[in-house]
Amino acid sequence: MNECVLVVDDDREIVRAIALLLEKEGYRALKAYDGMEALRVLAENEVQLIIMDVMMPKLDGLSAMMKIRERKNLPIIVLSAKTEDTDKILGLSMGADDYVAKPFNPQELAARVKSQLRRYTLLGGIHAQNEEDEIVNGRLCYRLKERTLYADGEPVRLTATETKIMELLMRNRGRIFPAEEIYERVWEEPSFSPENTVMVHIRHMREKIELNPKEPEYIKVVWGIGYKMEKM
């Protein structure tokens, strides 16, 4: 595993810490402290992934990302101290593959790096082949015949019930299911106060598939209504 990650931030200590963390995970880390430098390093080295801060001198993260996207299709994780949803959406729409808010959990960042790299290297880019018997949603892929869920190409161990719930949600991505419906369709019996039961399973599933279970990206609670699988 010699994937090379470019870490770009104007805060040298953060760059160093991230680099150290990544190296501990077995990646090669390159450092840059502003957008221009990042572009130069990128031109000179073979880089598989970029972790880049938004607010930087000379050339800011978003502008640098746009320049990079002109030529390269490598995954970019954006770091930002701004946590507002609009910033996140802006970052993702301008070509970022992932968005991590500062102050981040280092392990989460590592997980995200790993996830992005696996998808990039193993599946050959963002747009993976969509076969008929599998449902792909972001980094998740549910193979109907195997009744198995793959996250970043790796199978996830789900219990039978969890699998049923996952299949239901994956088949109906974006649709909101009330707890009662999930219960009735998975357990196939009338429900009575199913909220707790469903929630327990969902929590377990999140722990297995989400990079940060506390801030889930895929299985979401729609408060006051139900649950849904976010369509990526």
Applying CB under 8 A, does 221 fall inside the site for other proteins? yes
> Comparing C-alpha atoms, which of 109, 26, 94, 101 is closest to residue 62?
94
- Please, are residues 118 and 151 in contact by the beta-carbon 8 Å criterion? no
200 is a site residue for other proteins (CB under 8 A): yes
State the number of binding residues for other proteins (CB under 8 A). 34
Min dist. Cβ of residue 20 to other proteins (A): 6
As a whole number of angstroms, the distance between CA 132 and CA 143 comes to 9
CA angle 101, 104, 110 (to 5 degrees): 110
Give the binding range for other proteins (CB under 8 A) out of 57-65, 89-97, 156-164, 221-229: 221-229
Window of 60-68, 87-95, 104-112, 140-148 that interacts with other proteins by CB under 8 A: 104-112
Structure-block tokens of residue 66: 């746009």
Binding pattern to other proteins, positions 134-173, x when CB under 8 A?
A: ----------------------------------------
Provide the binding-site residues for other proteins, judged by CB under 8 A: 11, 13-14, 17-18, 20-21, 24, 81-83, 85-86, 102-107, 178-179, 193, 195-196, 198-200, 203, 221-226
